[in-house]
């Protein structure tokens, strides 16, 4: 089983008001595409209530570092009390939104070293002592990229004005 090293357990953006979900999605997808991540929508649920619609969306992005390691940034989008509104020629959502960013590193994601206890032990020693600097750099890079997309989305959501 792949080993998971959590780098950022969660940073969140919250917004009340208008949001263009389609444009926010496009922005994030393009950001990940430019950095060679695979971007996948893992889950989408919406439910209508008397006070509006609730949405739950789970996006995941993966970047293969090598045959042993992957960097992953997960994004969880939650919306509550959302209403569809039309502003000009745009279809927007109005309500409460939170976007959670989490990142982690998968090691031995193909389970090549999990076949027996001896190889698992060798992998753990190798990870902790032989290539520790390699993983330190990967963790540093992933942390920087997670905060980069977080800052990009936060800046976009604050900068956009809907007339």
Instruction: Give the model confidence (pLDDT) of 95-108 as tens digits.
Output: 999 999 999 998 86
Is residue 23 predicted with pLDDT exceeding 60?
A: yes
Give pLDDT, residue 163: 42
User: Does the pLDDT of residue 1 top 70, yes or no?
Assistant: no
DSSP code of residue 89: T
50 DSSP 8-state letter: T
**Tokens standing for 149?**
């997309």
Residue 159: pLDDT band with limits 50, 70, 90: low
- Indicate if the pLDDT at residue 16 is higher than 50: yes
Specify the residue for token string 């502003």: 87
Q: Domain segments of the chain: what residues?
A: 3-159
pLDDT at residue number 134: 83
């Amino acid at each position: 089983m792949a080993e998971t090293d959590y780098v950022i357990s969660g940073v969140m953006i919250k917004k009340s008001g208008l949001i263009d979900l389609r444009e926010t999605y496009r922005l994030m997808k393009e950001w990940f595409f430019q950095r060679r991540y695979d971007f996948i929508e893992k889950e989408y649920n919406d439910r209508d209530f008397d006070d509006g619609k609730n949405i739950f969306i789970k996006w995941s992005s993966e970047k293969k570092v090598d045959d042993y390691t992957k960097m992953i940034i997960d994004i969880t989008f939650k919306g509550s009390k959302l209403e569809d509104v039309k502003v000009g020629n745009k279809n927007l959502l109005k309500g409460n939104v939170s976007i959670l960013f989490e990142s982690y590193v998968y090691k031995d994601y193909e389970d090549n070293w999990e076949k027996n206890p001896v190889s698992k032990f060798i992998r753990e020693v190798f990870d902790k002592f032989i290539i520790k600097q390699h993983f330190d750099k990967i963790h540093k890079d992933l942390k920087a990229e997670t905060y980069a997309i977080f800052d990009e989305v936060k800046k976009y959501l604050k900068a956009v004005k809907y007339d």
